[in-house]
Amino acid sequence: MGMLPVAGLLILVCMYSVYNHAKLSSELDRLQVEQYGSISQVERVLLATSQLERAILLHLEGEKELAKNAYERSRPVLEEWVATRKEEEKLTPLLRNLLSMGRAVFETKERAIVAHLQPLVEQIEDEGFRSISGNNSVIKATNEVLRGDSQTHFYVVVSAIVASVFLMGFVSYQLSQRILKPIDALTESATRIGDGRYDMAAYTPSSKDEIARLENAFVEMAARIAEYQRLSDLQVARTRRRMEECFSNLPNPVIFLNAARDLAYQNPAAKELLELVSWEDELLPQLAVRVETVFGTGEEVLETDFDETVSVKIGNEPRFFLPLFVRVDSDAVDEIECGLVLQDITQLRLSDELKSDMVATISHEIKTPVTSATMALHLVLEKSLGELTEDQEDMLQTATDDLARLRRMLDHFLEIARLERKSPRLHAVRESPLRIVSSVIDAFGMPAQGKDIQLVSNVEESLPPVLVDLKAMEVGLSNYLSNAIKFSPPGSRVVVYAALAGSRVRFGVRDEGPGLAAEDLETVFEKFYRSRRHRAVDGVGLGLSIVKDIAIAHEGTVGCLPLEPQGCDFFIELDPAPEES
- Mean pLDDT of the 73-93 span: 77
Which residues are 254's β-sheet partners? 341
The confidence band for 205, taking pLDDT boundaries of 50, 70 and 90, is low
User: Quick check: 493 pLDDT over 90?
Assistant: yes
Nearest to 101 by CA among 110, 93, 88: 110
Which strand (E) or helix (H) includes residue 323? strand 317-328
What pLDDT, on a 0 to 100 scale, did the predictor assign at position 47? 85
Longest pairwise C-alpha distance within the chain: 168
Residues of the chain with pLDDT > 90, as a percent, come to 9
- DSSP, collapsed to helix, strand or coil, labels residue 61 as coil
The span from the CA of 29 to the CA of 181, in Å, is: 57
What pLDDT, on a 0 to 100 scale, did the predictor assign at position 135? 74
What pLDDT, on a 0 to 100 scale, did the predictor assign at position 539? 47
pLDDT, tens digit, for every residue of 166-198? 777 777 776 666 666 667 666 776 776 666 666
What pLDDT, on a 0 to 100 scale, did the predictor assign at position 433? 93
The span from the CA of 130 to the CA of 319, in Å, is: 123
Radius of gyration in angstroms for the set of CA atoms belonging to the chain, rounded to a whole number: 56
Which residues lie below 8 Å from residue 9, measured CB to CB, with a gap of 6+?
Answer: 160, 163, 164, 167
Backbone φ and ψ for 526, nearest 5 degrees, come out as -80, 155
The span from the CA of 110 to the CA of 115, in Å, is: 15
Give the DSSP letter string of 498-528.
EEEETTEEEEEEE--S----GGGTTTTTSTT
Residue 565, preceding peptide bond in cis (omega within 30° of 0): yes
**Burial of 215: CB neighbours in 10 Å, binned 0-12, 13-18, 19+:** buried
End-to-end alpha carbon distance in the chain: 89
User: Of 560 and 519, which is predicted with more confidence?
Assistant: 560
**CATH architecture for residues 426-574:** 2-Layer Sandwich (3.30)
The confidence band for 466, taking pLDDT boundaries of 50, 70 and 90, is very high
Which strand (E) or helix (H) includes residue 466? strand 466-468
pLDDT, tens digit, for every residue of 430-463? 999 999 999 888 878 888 888 899 999 999 988 9
User: Quick check: 531 pLDDT over 60?
Assistant: no
- Mean pLDDT of the 57-82 span: 80
- Mean pLDDT of the 225-232 span: 77
The confidence band for 324, taking pLDDT boundaries of 50, 70 and 90, is confident
Backbone φ and ψ for 346, nearest 5 degrees, come out as -55, -50
Other CB atoms within a 10 A radius of the CB of residue 424 amount to: 6
Backbone φ and ψ for 322, nearest 5 degrees, come out as -100, 115
What pLDDT, on a 0 to 100 scale, did the predictor assign at position 535? 43
Mean pLDDT of the chain: 76
User: Quick check: 518 pLDDT over 70?
Assistant: yes
Q: Which of 493-502, 533-542, 560-569 has the highest mean pLDDT?
A: 493-502
The span from the CA of 341 to the CA of 301, in Å, is: 11
CATH topology of domain 250-342: Beta-Lactamase (3.30.450)
The confidence band for 365, taking pLDDT boundaries of 50, 70 and 90, is low
User: Quick check: 102 pLDDT over 70?
Assistant: yes
Which residues lie below 8 Å from residue 344, measured CB to CB, with a gap of 6+?
Answer: 251, 252, 319, 320, 321
pLDDT, tens digit, for every residue of 249-297? 777 888 888 888 888 888 888 888 888 888 888 888 888 888 888 777 7
- DSSP, collapsed to helix, strand or coil, labels residue 571 as strand
**What CATH class has 4-167?**
mainly alpha
User: Quick check: 508 pLDDT over 90?
Assistant: yes
User: Quick check: 420 pLDDT over 80?
Assistant: no
Give the DSSP letter string of 289-308.
HHHHHHHHH---EE--SGGG
Per the confidence metrics, is the pTM higher than 0.85?
Answer: no
